[in-house]
Amino acid sequence: MLSYAKNHIDSIGCTHSIDNLVFEFFVKSFSQKTVLDELSEIFSKYIPGWERRKCSKEDCPACSAYSWFKSSIWGGGFYLQYGHYKDFDKVTREWSEYPILRVKFNPNKYWSSPLLRPLLDWFDRNCDNGVLVKFDYAVDVPARTKDIQVHSRKEYGLYKGTRYFGQRGKHGYLKVYDKRSESELPDDTTRIEWTFCCGKVIGFDSVVWLTNGPAPLPDARELGKSYSLARILLDLRACGGDVQQALGYLDYRTAKKLEPYTIGSGVQLFDGSIKILESLLCSYCAELSLSFVSDGVNKISIGRDFVRLSSDDLEAEDLPF
């Protein structure tokens, strides 16, 4: 059975949840050793057999092309990174370090972990201005993967049965895969999973759950020149081919005209999902002391008591601690 930390079941039987959280805090201490020593003590106390030398990377060199976290420590499903490098002085050849701690974990799997509460207590004592920076929004549909139809302008990919839309890890990235096979579930279950980032517009591509098969094919007079294409696509379907992918090679009007006769019709998913998503985010942000803001369409604003400081122009002496 699938496990959820917090979930919402909608009117058509789909289960909505947050499958991954990435958030950051400004740490009060600039001492990397102090931070890592205290975190290591927590990990070793709550994870039997945990060894720092095997579960940490410390004092990693910075990169001139990107902003990197200097050190990392992990265990029990939690991955923490500390020491965010932002500015590089070309004269002194030195980096300016902002004491930022980034935390990654999957609440559906580790919300009940004995490690979570001690970590949250440490964050509360030693950190300020928590903000949610990225999360995965998952919807489990009681349907076969081939019955989920996606209309997207993002770059399409396919790997071992999983359909990808967009760039991995980037805002708006979407993947559709067979959750039944992955988790050995007794019933058909397809997971539709989005990746969203802080400060970006939350928007959903068209995703349809095909609940009805193809309509009877009309005569040639109604479909005109598209009739032959429809017959070819139906033959492709009978042979187990991907009709949806084939429709993607046609112009938009022709593809939409043939869809009812070659794919079928169904229920539009994600209509009204922004309210469900907002409710889930409110719950997590309240318990984790995080803020979150998205701009533009489907705007969500959570945690007004927390303000994320901009690290673009921030100097070390201007930090509020």
For residue range 230-254, list pLDDT tens digits in order.
888 888 888 888 887 788 888 888 8
Q: Calculate the alpha carbon distances from 145 to 20, 71, 86, 149, 179 in Å.
A: 22, 40, 42, 9, 9
Confidence of residue 316 (pLDDT cuts 50, 70, 90): very low
Q: Specify the amino acid at residue 196.
A: F
Q: Which residues pair with 149 in a beta bridge?
A: 208
Please list the residues that pair with 100 across neighbouring strands: 26
pLDDT beyond 50 at 321: no
pLDDT digits (tens, 9 = 90+) for 18-46: 999 999 998 988 888 899 999 999 999 99
The SS3 assignment for 198 reads: coil
Q: Residue 237 region, left (φ>0) first, then alpha (ψ -120 to 50), else beta? A: alpha
Helix (H, G, I), strand (E, B) or coil at 220: helix
Nearest-10 crossing angle of helices 32-46, 116-126: 160
Residues with Cβ within 8 Å of 278's Cβ and at least 6 positions away in sequence, in order, are 300, 302
For residue 62, name the pLDDT band (cuts at 50, 70, 90): low
pLDDT of residue 65: 58
Cβ proximity of 86 and 96 under 8 Å: yes
Backbone angles phi, psi at 251, to 5 degrees: -70, 160
Please check whether residue 306 is in contact with residue 288, taking contact to mean a CB–CB distance below 8 angstroms: no
Q: How does pLDDT run across 182-236, given as a tens digit for each residue?
A: 888 889 999 999 999 988 889 898 898 988 888 888 888 788 888 888 888 888 8
Using one digit for the tens of pLDDT, what is the confidence trace for 129-182? 889 999 999 999 999 998 898 888 888 888 888 999 999 889 999 999 999 988
Q: Is the pLDDT of residue 88 over 50?
A: yes
Whole-angstrom distance, CA of residue 82 vs CA of residue 141: 37
Q: pLDDT tier at 317 (50, 70, 90 boundaries)?
A: very low
User: Which residue spans within the chain are E strands per DSSP?
Assistant: 7-9, 15-27, 56-57, 69-75, 78-89, 94-105, 127-141, 148-151, 156-159, 162-165, 173-178, 190-197, 206-212, 265-269, 292-293, 301-302
Pick from 76, 172, 149: nearest CA to 117 = 76
Distances (CA, A) of 84 to 22, 53, 264, 321: 15, 21, 50, 17
